[in-house]
Amino acid sequence: MSFLCKSTQKREESGMSEEAGFGLIVAEKFFGLILLIVGALATYYTFTSSQALSDYTGFFGFLSIIPLVLGIILIIAKPE
């Protein structure tokens, strides 16, 4: 008699493991690198063109830092 839930039993029967596949890990790290590059470029161009943006520099600076932070999180995160 098994005390496992049905989803765990199905996973064990189908041979699926708890760990992420190698391709998924590489895709996550690659997407994180792309986000990091896009965020860094957006941040650079936002703060170098602050005269043209005038009052909106802070707003666009904040928006350009978001992909930068997400990229760092994706690169650092340990997939399970």
| pLDDT, tens only, 21-56 | 888 999 999 999 999 999 999 999 999 998 998 899
- Residue 65 domain-assigned? yes
- Residue 45 domain-assigned? yes
Total domain count, the chain: 1
pLDDT the model gives residue 38: 96
Whether residue 79 is predicted with pLDDT greater than 90 in this model: the reply is no
Each residue's pLDDT tens digit, 7-22: 555 555 555 555 678 8
Full residue range of the structural domain in which residue 51 is found: 21-76
- In whole angstroms, give the CA distance from residue 74 to residue 9: 31
pLDDT the model gives residue 70: 96
Quick check: 28 and 77 in contact, CB under 8 A?
Answer: yes
